[in-house]
Amino acid sequence: MPEPHAPIGARVVGVLGGMGPSATVDFYAKLVRHTPALRDQDHLPVVIWADPTVPSRQDALLAGGADPTPWLEEGVRHLVDAGAQIVVVPCNTIHAYLGPVMADQPVEFISIIDTTVEAIRLRGTRRVGLLATDGALASGIFQSAFDASGIECVLPRPEQQQKLMRLVEAVKAGPVEHRMRAQVAELLADLREQGGATTVAGCTEISTLLSDLDSDEADVIDPALELALRTIERATPR
């Protein structure tokens, strides 16, 4: 078997994906786009296990649905067996379950929640809006992390939260359309009205819709992008 041509000393990145598929594609695209490479061989070695059969995180957190933990454990096993040295999961809500799953794994785990908090701290921001699924909000994964770092959190009004959930479902169901990006802009405007000038796009389906937004009107922290940047940093040889 030929030796890999990745940068000497680069660590193998394992992506536990499929939650949902478009979010996995979006994350990998960001990983590739931001890797400082001049040729194919300069990119990081990546293993992706994308399992769309992982039970609904929303049902599990809100309605007593199936616990996704066994699916996560199996996915991590596949990544480790494939040689992954770093594991990342481009889904915000599922991080409510990942602590115990990753606790004793022989790999480095990079949390999308932790990288997001660090990005906020580096900006010096103390008040952010949060776009996240009902399940993520119910689990408190973002709010507790924000509280621990002294960051105030502004949430959408109930009717706007309902629009967000319909938008997330639409992204999971089919291709991204221009009207979906317009709806994200409306959600951001609602949070700005409440004092959340900077907003965390705390759902990876929302992350897929962030392109083409007017940067002058939308100060957005994209957790998927922050996770990609941290992954590149940790996996690239020094």
Catalytic residues: 91, 203
Spatial distance between the Cα atoms of 137 and 93, rounded to a whole number of angstroms = 8
Measured from the Cβ of residue 168, the count of other Cβ atoms closer than 10 Å reads 23
Say which residue the tokens 């009902």 belong to: 134
How far apart, in Å, do the first and last CA atoms of the chain sit? 26
Q: Which two tokens stand for residue 73?
A: 């454990």
Beta bridge mates, 219: 198
Compute the C-alpha angle 21/87/207, nearest 5°: 40
**Residues 6+ positions from 174 with CB-CB distance below 8 Å:** none
CA distance linking residue 106 with residue 129, whole number of Å: 35
Kindly calculate the radius of gyration of the chain based on its CA atoms and give it in whole angstroms. 18
Do the Cβ atoms of 158 and 194 come closer than 8 Å? no
Structure tokens at 106: 């022989």
For residue 214, the Cα-to-chain-centroid distance in whole angstroms is 21
